[in-house]
Amino acid sequence: MKVAALQMVSGVALQANLAQARDLLEQAAQAGAELAVLPEYFCAMGLADADKLALRETMGDGVVQRFLAQAARELGLWVVGGTLPLVCDSEERVHNTTLVFSPAGDCVARYDKIHLFRFDNGTECFDEARVIQAGRESVRFALPARDGNVWRVGLSVCYDLRFPELYRQHARAGADLLLVPSAFTYTTGRAHWEVLLRARAVENLAYVLAPAQGGTHENGRRTWGHSMLVDPWGSVLAQQPEGAGVVLGTLDAAHLRQVRRQLPALEHCVL
């Protein structure tokens, strides 16, 4: 199955970001992808954390959700909407949510980001908990490919990548593909992004598809990019360093079965 990680450099204007996302989704569909995944914060990288509050939507309705459903339906794609802000039980916060849409335009899965980014090196300071409410549950969904194979997909977002326990939950539930839509900072991404992605692939014997924000944004923030597809042996199959673009790759079910047969590590896990 051909898949696409869509890399963006989102700005502050919602409609401009949706236009860029639609263009990338169309490119992915034209290239034969069955699954296209947008990065975290694809719909907006605001000037301030609180900008997310103005864009929040109620589950089941909203500009961004209608955009994702329409794109999936018109392009015949499985579309994973990186993250968008959804209403939570606090007026001062939102959920940072991944939504999955089938080619029929139906929302089939929702994941609220569990682990919230916090980083302060004296120069850069981030604390997502100021405006984001953490999720509590891991989420997976089944994706029937055109060739009849069914891929079991585990959802995660950005900072989740540093918490291997979440991915082991996915692996124990049979996940074949792990999605990691992200907006890693340039500082943390340069140091840790690739090694973490490859580790999650190797330790869980699964493909990892990680679309990212990649470049310098209107708000001055610089993100690392390097959207990539990693196979279950830890090999990077495709990536793009910076700038908007489509990172294409193929998931090979036979290769996945071979790796798991040769190295049945999950069967031997006792913890």
Which pLDDT value is given to residue 230?
99
CA Rg value for the chain:
17
Q: In terms of pTM, does the model score above 0.95?
A: yes
Name the one residue in this structure whose structure tokens are 């699964």. 206
pLDDT for the residue 258: 97
* Cα–Cα distance for residue pair 77/196, rounded to 1 Å: 28
Is residue 265 very low, low, confident or very high in pLDDT (cuts 50, 70, 90)? confident
| DSSP states of 199-233 | HHHHHHT-EEEE-BBEEE-TTS-EEE--EEEE-TT
- pLDDT at 33 exceeding the cut of 90: yes
Mean pLDDT of all residues belonging to the chain: 97
Three-state DSSP at 153 gives strand
- Residues with catalytic roles: 40, 113, 158
What is the structure's pLDDT at 221?
Answer: 95
SS3 state of residue 185: strand
Q: Which ranges in the chain belong to alpha helices (H)?
A: 14-30, 51-55, 63-75, 164-172, 186-188, 194-204, 253-262
Task: Check whether 271 has a pLDDT greater than 70.
Answer: no
How far apart CA 119 and CA 40 sit, in angstroms, is: 17
- The pLDDT tens digits of the residues spanning 44-99 come to 999 998 999 999 999 999 999 999 999 999 999 999 999 999 999 999 999 999 99
- What's residue 266's pLDDT? 78
The residues, any chain, with a CB within 8 Å of residue 151's CB and separated by 6 or more, are 1, 142, 143, 144, 145, 176, 177, 251, 253
Please say if the pLDDT value at position 151 is more than 70: yes
Asked whether residue 268 carries a pLDDT value surpassing 70, the answer given is no
